[in-house]
Amino acid sequence: MGNVLRCAKMKVKATGTTADVDFTTKRNVHSTQRSHINAIVLDSSWEQTAAFYLEQPTDHVSCYARNDRPYLLIPYEYEGVQHHYEPDYLVRLRNRKTLILETKGEEDDRDRAKYQAARRWVTAVNNWRRLGAWDFVVCRDPAIIPRQIAQISAR
């Protein structure tokens, strides 16, 4: 039998919501307290460490969601072929900014193409102004996530 992930208190799917989260998975999940989704799928120890820090009480994080189904796909090109980048987490900060959080150890040229596309996407969305303020960060050491979030919150 699988784990059921559900989004609490949301009925209508609108742009920028996770209102349609309702699925069963056989993958390992971790229950949440600081997310409006009852559990998140953890594919790696890095993502698990990130979830640990996102679950801690803080003055900066309002809520978060794992980009598992995925909710956000960012188009990018690599070696002449179109792809879609699926960031790890979407974090709503208390200053109302939405943070795209990626956890990554070693990176290669393809990763750099993804991150460049994410930065362009954030710039475009911020210029459009209809989805609020956004930011993007790649965390290469999950232990510094609280510090990175605090820095972004101060911007």
pLDDT digit string (tens) for the chain, length 155 residues: 455 444 444 333 455 555 555 556 666 766 777 777 777 777 778 888 888 899 888 899 998 888 877 679 999 999 999 999 999 999 999 999 999 999 988 899 999 999 999 999 999 999 999 999 999 999 999 889 999 999 999 98
The Cβ of residue 1 has, within 10 Å, a number of other Cβ atoms equal to: 5
- Measured on CA atoms in the order 4, 8, 13, 15, is the torsion positive or negative? negative
Global pTM value: 0.81
CA atoms within 13 A on the CB side of 145: 24
Question: How far apart are the C-alpha atoms of 110 and 92, rounded to whole Å?
Answer: 27
| Distance from the Cα of residue 14 to its chain's centroid | 18
Among candidates 17, 9, 44, which has minimal Cα distance to 30?
Answer: 44
Q: Which pLDDT score, from 0 to 100, does residue 96 have? A: 94
CA neighbor of 36 nearest in space, from 1, 85, 2, 71? 71
Q: How many helices (H) and strands (E) does the chain have?
A: 3, 10
